């Protein structure tokens, strides 16, 4: 059944793409985002934040921008700071009514944008998480990585009193006014539990929807590791108990 959206004026979706050493994938990601099938009343803004890549990603982005193949705003960091810092820069540049986080690899597919936007357009939600664990198609990979994600989500839920299935998901969409109230500090991957803790404290309406997921191996460029898991645990305690 097709989504039933409430009548509304034109809305803008800002897609923020943090990039660090993704020269092999970033042009394909930009192509997928640019071609995403959005509802008729939603226009698209793309903001790419290059976090001081060293593999040629910045040159590739400048080349694509100059060619006019895809329209996007490029924000460039002088020094590598991490995903959280890149997201803060992207959030600051976003002008849309809704702001969506899109990783620069090929793990998350923009074909899921309509599903992510539906609760927002129907005015049922203020924040939407795309869950990798609600039955959508996904690549079968690491057992312990999966268990680590489940553990971090459980720990986060215990403090936030939410019943999320996937706190660490890379697909999060916010109403801009909700995002503007978040004062974020994490520079690396701890940005995920920090955002969740601070959104929970706002008592806004949070939805989860199933998404597809094509996880990649470390040989294929996956960057998150066990140290980031420990940092996430610390962030869950810090931002839920201290703020």
CATH of the domain at 64: 3.90.550.10
Average pLDDT, integer, range 58-79:
94
**For residue 146, what are its two tokens?**
């999966």
- Residue 161 above 70 pLDDT? yes
SS3 assignment, position 176: helix
| In-domain check, residue 215 | yes
Beta-sheet pairing, 172-175 with 127-131:
antiparallel
- Residue 70 above 60 pLDDT? yes
CB 38 within 8 A of CB 114: yes
Which residues constitute the domain of residue 48?
Answer: 11-241
| In-domain check, residue 2 | no
Residues near 12 by beta carbon (within 8 Å), at least 6 away in sequence: 42, 43, 44, 45, 95, 96, 97, 98
| In-domain check, residue 116 | yes
Report the alpha-carbon distance of residue 30 to residue 19 in Å, rounded.
Answer: 11
Question: pLDDT category, 139, cuts 50, 70, 90?
Answer: low
State the average pLDDT for the chain: 90
Average pLDDT, integer, range 114-128:
97
- The per-residue pLDDT for 145 is 72
Question: pLDDT category, 4, cuts 50, 70, 90?
Answer: low
Average pLDDT, integer, range 119-123:
97
Which of residues 138 and 68 earns the better pLDDT score? 68
| In-domain check, residue 178 | yes
Average pLDDT, integer, range 135-157:
78
| In-domain check, residue 4 | no
Average pLDDT, integer, range 171-177:
97
Most confident of 68-72, 201-205, 227-231: 201-205
- The per-residue pLDDT for 137 is 62
Report the alpha-carbon distance of residue 42 to residue 44 in Å, rounded.
Answer: 7
| In-domain check, residue 1 | no
Q: Global pTM?
A: 0.89
| Angle (CA) 100 211 48, round 5° | 30
**For residue 81, what are its two tokens?**
């700071």
Q: What is the pLDDT of residues 9-64, one digit of tens each?
A: 899 999 999 999 999 999 999 999 999 999 999 999 999 999 999 999 999 999 99
C-alpha dist (Å) from residue 142 to 101, 130, 139, 229: 23, 20, 10, 15
Report the alpha-carbon distance of residue 77 to residue 85 in Å, rounded.
Answer: 9
Residues near 140 by beta carbon (within 8 Å), at least 6 away in sequence: none
| In-domain check, residue 184 | yes
- The per-residue pLDDT for 148 is 80
Question: Strand 206-210's sheet: what is its strand order?
Answer: 73-76, 42-50, 11-19, 98-101, 172-175, 127-131, 206-210
Cα within 13 Å of Cα(186), Cβ side: 25
Give the whole-number percent of the chain exceeding pLDDT 90: 77
| In-domain check, residue 201 | yes
**For residue 48, what are its two tokens?**
């790419």
- The per-residue pLDDT for 227 is 79
- The total number of structural domains in the chain stands at 1
Beta-sheet pairing, 98-101 with 11-19:
parallel
Average pLDDT, integer, range 74-87:
96
- The per-residue pLDDT for 135 is 77
Cα within 13 Å of Cα(203), Cβ side: 0
Alpha-carbon dihedral sign for residues 59, 62, 66, 69 = positive
Question: pLDDT category, 130, cuts 50, 70, 90?
Answer: very high
């Amino acid at each position: 059944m097709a989504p039933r959206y409430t009548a509304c004026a034109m809305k803008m979706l800002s897609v923020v793409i943090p990039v660090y050493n993704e020269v092999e994938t970033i042009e394909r990601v930009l192509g997928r985002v640019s071609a995403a099938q959005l509802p008729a009343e939603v226009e698209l803004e793309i903001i790419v934040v290059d976090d001081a890549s060293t593999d040629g990603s910045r040159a590739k982005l400048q080349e694509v921008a100059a060619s006019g193949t895809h329209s996007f705003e490029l924000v460039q960091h002088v020094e590598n700071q991490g995903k959280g810092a890149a997201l803060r820069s992207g959030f600051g540049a976003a002008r849309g009514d809704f702001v969506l986080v899109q990783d620069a690899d090929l793990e998350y597919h923009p074909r899921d944008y309509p599903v992510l936007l539906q609760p927002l357009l129907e005015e049922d939600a203020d924040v939407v998480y795309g869950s990798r664990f609600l039955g959508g198609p996904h690549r079968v990979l690491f057992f312990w990585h999966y268990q680590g994600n489940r553990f971090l989500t459980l720990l986060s839920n215990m403090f936030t009193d939410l019943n999320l299935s996937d706190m660490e998901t890379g697909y999060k969409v916010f109403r801009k006014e909700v995002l503007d109230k978040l004062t974020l500090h994490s520079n690396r991957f701890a940005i995920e539990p920090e955002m969740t803790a601070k959104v929970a404290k706002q008592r806004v309406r949070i939805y989860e929807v199933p998404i597809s997921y094509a996880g990649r191996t470390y040989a294929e460029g996956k960057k998150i590791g066990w140290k980031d898991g420990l940092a996430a645990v610390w962030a869950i305690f810090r931002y839920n108990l201290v703020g």
